[in-house]
C-alpha cells in the first residue's frame, strides 16, 4: 500500500499496475495523523471495526503493510481487483 499524506481529501485511488493500493489522506504525516486517517479510511471502506485494521510495517514510510482482521483476502480482492494480497 502506498500512502500520500496532505492530499485534498481522503480517498482510495485504486490499485497500481504493480498491485499496490494507492491511498490519499488529508492529514499530515507528522505525529502519526496520516497513519490514523489511513486506518480509519480502510476500516470504513472494508466495513470492519477500526480496531480490526492494524499497521504492521512502514509507520514512517509511504509504503505500508496493513493487516485487516475479520476480512478475508478474497473480500479485499473483490473490493480492489488486482491488489497484491
Mean pLDDT of 59-77: 93
Query: Is 85 a residue whose pLDDT tops 80?
Result: no
Ramachandran assignment for 34, one of left (phi > 0), alpha (psi -120 to 50 degrees), beta (any other): alpha
Kindly tell me the sign of the dihedral angle through the C-alpha atoms of 28, 33, 36, 40.
negative
> What does the alpha-carbon distance between residue 53 and residue 72 come to, in Å, rounded to a whole number?
12
Looking at residue 29, what DSSP letter applies? S
Mean pLDDT of 48-63: 95
Structurally, at CATH architecture level, domain 2-79 sits in 2-Layer Sandwich (3.30)
Residue boundaries of the structural domains of the chain: 2-79
For 12-48, how does the pLDDT look when each residue is reduced to its tens digit (9 = 90+)? 999 999 999 999 999 999 999 999 999 999 999 999 9
Query: Is 82 a residue whose pLDDT tops 90?
Result: yes
Q: What is the pTM of this model?
A: 0.93
Across the strands, what pairs with 85?
A: none
**Whole-number pLDDT of residue 50:** 96
In the block, residue with C-alpha cell 489522506: 25
Amino acid at each position: 500500500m502506498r500512502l500520500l499524506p496532505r492530499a485534498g481529501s481522503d480517498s482510495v485511488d485504486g490499485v497500481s499496475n504493480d498491485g499496490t493500493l494507492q491511498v490519499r489522506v488529508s492529514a499530515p504525516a507528522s505525529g502519526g495523523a496520516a497513519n490514523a486517517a489511513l486506518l480509519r479510511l480502510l476500516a470504513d471502506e472494508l466495513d470492519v471495526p477500526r480496531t480490526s485494521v492494524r499497521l504492521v510495517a512502514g509507520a514512517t514510510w509511504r509504503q505500508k503493510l496493513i493487516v485487516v482482521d475479520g476480512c478475508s483476502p478474497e473480500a479485499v480482492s473483490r473490493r480492489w481487483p488486482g491488489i497484491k494480497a
